[in-house]
């Protein structure tokens, strides 16, 4: 018995062969090959924007730390305490209301950065 050209054996043999390889587009280092070409440049631009925002946030935190230190020095100079717990609770509440539970964590970190600079 001989196999027909389009018979079962021919179809099975055809399925077992690897698919024909397609020419691949050149992928730049750091580029995800699954993303369309314009997406990579969009992401790179947005990352630069985030880097700029982070730099501005860090600068603002430094400024807040300096002002907080001045307040602490004034309070201690007049015989008061370094920390004002009611004020810290206001800050925690403000951040929590604006950003939810993670906002409270941000506020805790911010308050920790600003304590004890005198």
Structure confidence by residue, pLDDT tens digits, 3-35: 555 666 655 555 555 555 555 556 556 656 667
Backbone angles phi, psi at 3, to 5 degrees: -80, 140
Domain spans of the chain? 47-118
Q: What separation, in Å, do the N-terminal and C-terminal C-alpha atoms of the chain show?
A: 97
Q: Which CATH number fits domain 47-118: 1.20.1560.10, 1.10.3720.10, 3.20.20.70, 1.20.59.10?
A: 1.20.59.10
Backbone angles phi, psi at 54, to 5 degrees: -60, -40
State pTM to two decimals: 0.66
Task: DSSP for 33-72, please give it.
Answer: TTS-HHHHHHHHHHHHHHHHHHHHHHHHHHHHHHHHHHHH
Q: Per residue in 47-91, pLDDT tens?
A: 999 999 999 999 999 999 999 999 999 999 999 988 889 999 999
């Amino acid at each position: 018995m001989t196999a027909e050209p389009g018979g079962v054996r021919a179809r099975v043999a055809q399925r077992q062969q690897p698919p024909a390889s397609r020419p691949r587009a050149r992928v730049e280092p750091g580029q995800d090959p699954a993303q369309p070409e314009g997406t990579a440049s969009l992401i790179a631009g947005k990352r630069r924007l985030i880097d700029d925002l982070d730099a501005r946030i860090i600068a603002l935190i430094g400024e807040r730390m300096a002002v907080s230190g001045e307040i602490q020095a004034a309070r201690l100079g007049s015989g008061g305490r370094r920390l004002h717990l009611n004020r810290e609770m206001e800050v925690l509440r403000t951040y929590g209301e604006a950003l939810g539970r993670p906002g409270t964590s941000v506020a805790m970190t911010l308050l920790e950065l600003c304590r004890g600079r005198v």
